[in-house]
Structure 1
Amino acid sequence: MADRQGAQQARGRGGFASARRRPRLGTLALVALLHVLAVYGLAKAFAPDFTGSVEREVMEAITVTVTTPPEELPDPEPEPDPGAAGEEGREATPREVTAPEPPVRVQPPVPVPQASSTGTAASSGARERGEGTGAGGTGTGTGSGQGGGGAGGGAVNKPVHVSGGIDDARDYPVPEGGRAARRGTEVIVRVIVGTDGRASNCTVYRPSPDPEADRITCRLVTERLRFRPATDAAGNPVPAPFYWRQRWF
């Protein structure tokens, strides 16, 4: 019994040893790669120039140069001839245009004038004259004068001085400072010449520097001067204004 068990144990040990698996190919490659990397690292540390030259040779061996073919450019267009005719343009196509219709303006109706009547009323427009003042005809006056019963209109011919005069040396008193103080000055007076040719209603129109001389001028004009009176269109004498200028020399 004991011998049988010992034999089984011995057989079991021998079978385990014979049943141990072989290492895989991938594992061996990994272990080899690790050894190579370890050796490369030691060489990189202790001989960097050597490892650098090896790296360059390896990179040059695996570098692939790719050459790009040159790009084909289009042929240049020929330059146009300066004397050649241009290309034909597109034919113009006329477009139909419709003009808008003008608006129609309606003229307002023209009022028709009233026809004259043949009635007997005094206010009718067909009568030559009515009972009012605006019917036309002639009145009691001539209508040509300044008043309804006057003889005519205003003066057509102005009054004219015919006689009388004023002496500036004898008719005026000597002013203070002598006659030279009044020399070169003048006064203009306005009078009304009546139908008898005499002047009246004298007023100073443009005074001189000497008021006393102006008053003397008014008195002398009304006393001494005589005029041919103004006349109207019919030749009748009418009152009219006259302006007398007195200068001192």
Structure 2
Amino acid sequence: MRQGYHQERRHRIASAVAVLLLHAGLGIALVTALGFTPVATPEDSLRTFDLPAPAPPSPPPLRPAPRPERKSGAAAPPNRHARPVELVAPPVPAPLPPLLAAAPIAGPGADAAAGAAPLPGPGTGAGGVGQGTGSGASGSGTGSGGGSPARLLRGAIRDSDYPRAARRGRVEGSVTVRFTVDPAGRATGCAVTRSSGSAELDATTCRLIEARYRYAPARDAAGRPVVELRGWRQDWWLEPRR
């Protein structure tokens, strides 16, 4: 019995091996008959694709420029003194009185004589005292009246008044101005008649004159204060650098 069992088992194994060999032979025959050889195409092995463009590099952060180191040095040399020169302008002449129209016909009065009246008046005859520019006894015009000119009481332009910007830029010059001394003795209406070439120096001169200068006003022959026109020249200059 045991021997028959072993023979039957060997027969089954031999049959299985034969079947496997048959299937392998059929597979080889099929592949050979079809002539199929798997070939890898270049498209499968290498495919190209686009990469996104790299972003531009960000600029480096800005750094503030280093501040120059300030060094202390010697004091600046002293400035030269400004030398003001006062110019006296002639007083403004008073306007002439209006002319009187002559009568169209002779007067019907009974006076025995006609001519100059013994009292002062605005007429055109040879009166005693008038306001014109002729050779009367006195007047406020440009003739030889008996008045007195204005007299400076106080006011000056000092070295410390030199404008800072003009000092730094070494700007110099002489400016001539004209202003009015009113009956109260104040300097008003300052105007430049000859510029120094610097608008800052010109403006500073007029501003200081109107703010600081005070006068004893001019007076006419009767002692009454009157308006007077005056001039002033201011020299702005600095000591040379050493």
Q: Give me the TM-score of the superposition, normalised by structure 2.
A: 0.41
Query: Greater CA radius of gyration, 1 or 2?
Result: 1
Q: Give me the TM-score of the superposition, normalised by structure 1.
A: 0.40
* Bigger RCO of structures 1 and 2 (CA < 8 A, at least 6 apart): 2
